[in-house]
Amino acid sequence: MIIILLIFTSNTLFSLTTEEIKKRIKKGYDTTGIILKIGNQKQLLFDNYIIEDIWNIERHLNKPKRYPENPIIHFDRPWEEWNVPGVKSGGPAVSTVFYDKEDKLFKMWYTVFRILNRKKPYLYTYWTAYAYSKDGIHWIKPNLGVIEFNGSKNNNLVYKGRFWASGRVVKDYNEKDPKKRYKFYYSDVYGVLPLSKIKAEDEGKKWTVKWFQDNWIDTTNLAFSPDGIHWTSYKDNPVEVFGLADGQGDAFWDDRIKMFVSSRRPLVYAGPWMRRIAISFSKDLIHWTFPKTVIIPDELDTIELYDLRIFPYENIYYGFLSMFDSDKKQNIVQQLVFSRDLLHWERLAKREAFIGLGKEGEFDAGMVSPAKPLVVKNKIYIYYSGTNKSHSSYSSKTEIGLLTIPLDRFVGRRTKIQTDKFVDRNGDFKVGKNPEVGVILTRPFICEGDTLEINCKCPKGVIKVDVLNTIGEVYKGFGKENSIPFQGDSLSHEMMWKDHSLKELMGKAIRLKFYMINAELYSFKISSKINN
C-alpha cells in the first residue's frame, strides 16, 4: 500500500502545472514565526540574522585607519611614570571616553600604573586621571587640585581608591541624585593596608611584598561624582568580594534591556589564570548576577583572553576581544567579536586582528587596548592605548592613539572574485561565460517603509536588487531588470526601481535579493519618507 501511494502521489505531482504547484506551496506553508519585524532599524551584515542565503559572497574585515598624527595623548607627566628605578617607563592607558552632550566636550578617564616598592618583585597600583577635548583630537590634561602627588595637587589625577582605582566611568543621565550623576565601576584591593598608609621608605619595616600577596583580595567597587572629577566611595564597598582584576572589565548602561552590563573575568575557571570573558547584569551597579563565562579560548586562540570592550551599535553588539599570547611574545592584539544577546558571541573564520600592532619602533608595537568606540558624524572613533613593548616589559612606554572607520564598515559582504569585466557603462550585467555575480538573499520581513537605503562600496562594480515575496517570487515591477543600478561609494544610497516605489509594498512580507559585481555591502535600512 505504501508503494502504491507513493506512485500515485508522484504521478499526481507531475501532472500539475507550474501555477498549480505554486498555489499548493502558498497554501501548504505556514509562514508564522519566520517573518521578521525589523522596522526602520539598520541591518548590519556581520552574522546571518537577516541573511537567508548567499552565493559567491564572503565576509570581509575592514580594519580601522590610524590617525596620521598618532599618538594624540603623550606620556608627559611625572605621575604617569611607572616609577621603576633607573628606567623611563609608563604613560596613560585609556579607560573610558565619551562625548558629553550636556557639556559639549569629549571626556576621557585614563589609568596610570605606579610601582610602590623599588625592589623586585614589584608591588603596584593603578590611579585614574582625567582629560578633555573640544574636537576629540587635541586633549587637555587640566590641573584639578583634587589628588596630592609629591606634595602638590597641581595635576589631573581624580581618584586613587583604597589601593587601586582601575575601571570604567558611566554618566547616568537617568540618575535623579545630582551627586551620583557619574558612576565609577572599578577594581580595588582589600585585605591589605590602604594605600594612604604605605610609604616606599617603609619597605622591610612595616610591610613586605609577601605579606601583601598572602592577604591580597581583588574586589569590585563603586564611586559617585557630580562632575566626574570629585569622587566619593560608595559607603558599602566592596559591592562584590571577587573583582574585575587588572583587566579593568567593562560597565555600561544598555538601553535595550534597561540594565547595566559588565564584561569581566569569571569567578570559576579551569586553569591557573582567570583570563576568560564572563558577563554580569545589574539594575543599579551594586547587585550583580553571577558571572556567566561566555568566551573561552579554542584551538585557534592564544591561551589567555585578557578582556572585552562591548559596543552596542544599531541592531547588534560589537566587542573588542583582547588576545594575549602570554606563553609566547606577550603581545596583545584585538579581535572583532559580535553578538545578538551578549551571551553568545561569534567571530570571523580567519580570526584576523581587527586592531593589530604597529610597526617596530612605533608607540603601539607591543600591545594595543581600545576603549569603547564613539560615533562622530559619519565616522567611528576608537581611542586606544598603545605600548611599544610587550606585557612583561617594565621598560615600555604607553601613549594614546586614535583609529577611525566609516559608519557601519567593520565587516562587509563582498563578491569573492573582484573584477570589472562584466559591467558596461550603464551598470548592466553583461552576458558572459563566468559573470561572477555575488548574491545575498535576506530572510522575509515586514516592509515598514518606502525607501531602501544601502551602505555600499562598488566604484568599479554594480549592485541591483530584486524584491521578492516570502516564497521567492519577484513582486511585479521590482525585479533586477527594473532596479536602477548603483555604482560608487556611499554610506547611504537610495535604491530605486523604474516606475515603482516600496510604498506599494508597505505592510507586506518581502525579501531582498542583492545582485553584486565588484561590490561590498555593509548594511541596509528600510526607512520612511512618508511622514518626513
Confidence category of residue 27, pLDDT binned at 50, 70, 90: low
Task: Answer whether residue 124 shows pLDDT above 70.
Answer: yes
Span 76-81, average pLDDT: 96
Which cell goes with 343? 551571551
Angle at 141 between CA 221 and CA 389, to 5 degrees: 75
Q: Indicate whether 450 pLDDT > 90.
A: yes
Residue 2 contacts by C-beta under 8 Å, 6 or more apart in sequence? none
Residue 430, CA distances (Å) to 129, 419, 517 in order: 61, 13, 11
To the nearest whole percent, how much of the chain has pLDDT over 90? Answer: 73
pLDDT at 237: 94
Is a pLDDT exceeding 90 seen at residue 436? no
Strand spans (E) along 56-148: 57-61, 65-66, 93-100, 105-115, 124-133, 139-140
pLDDT of amino acid 430 = 55
Task: State the chain's mean pLDDT as an integer.
Answer: 89
End-to-end CA distance of the chain: 64
- The amino acid occupying position 437 is V
- The predicted pLDDT at position 1 comes to 46
Sheet containing 232-233: give its strands across.
Answer: 166-171, 182-190, 217-225, 232-233
Give the per-residue pLDDT at 423. 53
Provide the CATH topology of domain 65-408: Tachylectin-2; Chain A (2.115.10)
Beta-carbon contacts of residue 441 (< 8 Å; ≥ 6 apart): 51, 52, 53, 54, 511, 512, 513, 514
> Class of 28-62+412-527 per CATH?
mainly beta
pLDDT in tens, 49-75: 999 999 999 999 999 999 999 999 999
Residue 381 predicted with pLDDT over 90: yes
pLDDT of residue 485: 96
Q: How far is CA 364 from the centre of its chain?
A: 20
- Contact status, residue 9 vs residue 15, Cβ threshold 8 Å: no
The amino acid occupying position 341 is D
Q: How confident is the model at residue 529 (pLDDT cuts 50, 70, 90)?
A: confident
Burial (CB < 10 A; 0-12, 13-18, 19+), residue 268, is: exposed
Give the pLDDT mean for 78-93: 93
Q: Stretch 97-119: mean pLDDT, rounded? A: 92
Tell whether the model's pLDDT for residue 122 goes beyond 80.
Answer: no
Residue 6: what pLDDT?
40
Q: What average pLDDT score do residues 215-234 get?
A: 94
pLDDT higher than 90, residue 180:
yes
Q: How far apart are CA 106 and CA 65, in angstroms?
A: 20
Nearest to 383 by CA among 129, 71, 140, 128: 71
Query: Cell 559573470, residue?
Result: 435
Same fold for the pair 28-62+412-527 and 65-408: no
Q: Where are the domains of the chain?
A: 28-62+412-527, 65-408
Looking at 176-185, 195-204, 355-364, 469-478, which range is the least confident one? 195-204
Phi, psi for residue 181 in degrees, rounded to 5 = -60, -40
For cell 541591518, name the residue: 43
